[in-house]
Structure 1
């Protein structure tokens, strides 16, 4: 299925293809603060439609994940592995997808604080 999403102001927009079978609620220091519900997909399934200079990047710790955010409205629509290669993943914040019934999505808790 094809989903569309983006930030609050619309300057960052994307589409993602896949079956939304569930999302992860991570308790690491950044995910807990932004209340993200993350859906992991192959990076090639995420297509940016609009971003320009508005797409910011934040990394911390080991720097393995680039947390992306809109520089205008501050919303964090997705994150992505920073490594090269075909096995890269994108982590879409399903709160930023259009038309999603969040109550119908199974949520899995992940202990990112201990990882």
Structure 2
């Protein structure tokens, strides 16, 4: 079910709230937007996610609120530059990204699930995960090996 959760970077300079669904399959709310991106959490093996170990969950932009720390964020864009990767300038934690893609319903955020402060270990362990083979631009396919992700 969709619940408001709170997250932060490691030092606490950046804080956010997000309406997110981490429930296991069969217990989830109806998706706010169609598409596989909003149906589950995701782990990807692309060059960036592989190095940062990003555990992402897409949410529509209206489901995300930056509560504090805009002045503590630094930005990184690569490739086509369509994704705004944000990091805390103080501690370096990568808490979320933002982008806009028409195929994905417009503006959205990817929240780093590991940065959610009010989600317990049991709930994280039960959250559904879909694996993406971003290293080979096969986003709808799982990579051959996922154990390290």
For residues 86-101 of structure 1, what are the structure 2 equivalents within 5 Å?
A: 87-100=106-119, 101=121
Aligned to 1:17: 19
Give the unaligned 5+ runs of structure 2.
24-39, 138-149
Select which of 5, 8, 16 maps to 1:6.
8
Aligned to 2:36: none
Select which of 85, 90, 93 maps to 1:72.
90
Greater C-alpha radius of gyration? 2
Could you tell me how far apart the structure 1 residues matched to 2:100 and 2:15 are?
A: 20
Larger relative contact order (Cα-Cα within 8 Å, sequence gap ≥ 6): 1
SS of equivalent to 2:79:
coil
Q: Which runs of 4+ in 1 moved over 3 A?
A: none
How far does the alpha carbon of each residue in 1:51-94 deviate from its partner, in whole angstroms, 9 at most, with x for none? Answer: 1321111111111111111010000000110579x721100000
Could you tell me how far apart the structure 2 residues matched to 1:56 and 1:83 are?
A: 22
- For these two proteins, the number of residue pairs brought into alignment is 114
After TM superposition, the score normalised by the length of structure 2 is 0.71
For residues 16-95 of structure 1, what are the structure 2 equivalents within 5 Å?
A: 16-21=18-23, 22-81=40-99, 87-95=106-114
RMSD between superposed Cα atoms in Å: 1.7
